[in-house]
Amino acid sequence: MTTPYYLYDTELLKKTLDEIKKGAATIENSFVHYAVKACTNPKVLEVIRDAGLGIDCVSGGEIEVVVNAGFDPSRIMFAGVGKADWEIQTALDNNIECFVVESIPELEVINEFAAKKGKIADVCLRINPNVGAHTHANIVTGLSENKFGINMADMMEVIRLCQELPQINFKGLHFHIGSQILEMDDFEALCRRVNELQDKLDAAGIHAEIIDVGGGLGIDYEHPEKHPIPDFENYFSIFRNKLKLRKGQELHFELGRSVVGQCGRLITKVLYVKNSGPKQFVIVDAGFTDLIRPALYGAHHRIVNITNTDDDMETYDVVGPICESSDVFDKDVRLSKTKRGDLLAILSAGAYGEIMASQYNCRRLPKGYTVDEID
Ligand SMILES: *Cc1c(COP(=O)(O)O)cnc(C)c1O
């Protein structure tokens, strides 16, 4: 097997999906969509499709990928601040479930294209709830300073516009406050905000058929072996207990990282061990082109030597071959004594890993395999 490569544990993925379905089943009229931008590996998609999840897309390319993978287009939510004309047309042609609209000009363009095709577009409005998520600044999306969504103060005006535009059908409200959220208080704050906004809708005599609370549930990057499956029971219980849904209202979730994050790892080979002053560098054949999260977000992934699993630990900086100082997976990592040719596993890399790979330095894209393909 040529390294580096991604390795997906489909058994763990199935167990994770079972937990999600169990948690969601405690809420009447709830629907779970997989936020496909986290990972589009075909084998992974197959398992998620067979588990019956809907999809959350953020591009026309993603719509094409999931339709080709056999997902039901009528269960696709399509979000994104900058939908291009062809992407809107692709969504209309596929009769997706719902556009998640982030601005007035976008709403007008969707209305225009829908008219040309003689279709009605179902629309949720993405509201920026100004709720802070305690996570990395680059993955907070729900503050008014972020580019996402419609300002709360403009909500009623945009709903009225939806009612005026002939090809638009207002379905409900959508929120997504950020990613890798481990503070359940953030989701509680979102619930309180949604309740407030629903009171406003009631006062205006407007019914939302759909409340979509997005995704964002985090995973345990520090102790993936101890917590291979996120605490979905607790996550769903917050929405069950704190959200005041109206009669018949559908509650939608869009989970990405928490579905696939722990199910994938990046396998990389040690090229050289270099002693340099006080440092020991382990130079591996994977770089930030294969897994960009440490370089982009300062993210931390557990790394283990899977060739030598002895207890004789040493301290290393694990770095890639790319000509950028940010190409570092982690510093001062305790690994079993490591030598050229050993394989290292970079854990919890199933989400925002393979899909974010690039070809910078003219590198080859990493391949993805499932555990049973390797045995
Ligand atoms: C990225 C994204 C998600 C999923 O986020 P996770 O943190 O991976 O769960 C859900 N909804 C929208 C609109 C997104 O952009």
Per-residue model confidence as pLDDT tens digits over 259-286? 999 999 999 999 999 999 999 999 999 9
Both structure tokens of 97? 């479930």
pLDDT at 247 over 70: yes
CA of 375 to the centre of ligand 1 (A): 33
Cα separation, 154 vs 37, in Å, equals 28
pLDDT at 97 over 70: yes
User: Residue 208 in 3-state DSSP?
Assistant: coil
Given pLDDT bands bounded at 50, 70 and 90, which one contains residue 256?
A: very high
CB of 224 closer than 8 Å to CB of 185 = no
CA of 255 to the centre of ligand 1 (A): 6
Residues with CB under 6 A from ligand 1: 35, 37-38, 56, 58, 79, 176, 179, 214-217, 254-258
Question: What's the whole-model pTM score?
Answer: 0.96
Both structure tokens of 281? 């560098």
The pick from 20, 58, 258 for probing ligand 1's pocket by mutation, whose C-beta has the most ligand atoms within 8 angstroms, reads 58
Helix 85-93 to helix 60-68 angle (10° resolution) is 30
Phi, psi of 315 (to 5 degrees): -105, 130
Cα separation, 101 vs 124, in Å, equals 6
CA of 99 to the centre of ligand 1 (A): 15
Burial label, 126 (beta-carbon count in 10 A; 0-12, 13-18, 19+)? buried
User: Residue 39 in 3-state DSSP?
Assistant: coil
Tell me 82's DSSP state.
-
Cα separation, 277 vs 138, in Å, equals 34
Please, how many CA atoms are within 13 Å of residue 198, restricted to the half-sphere of its CB? 21
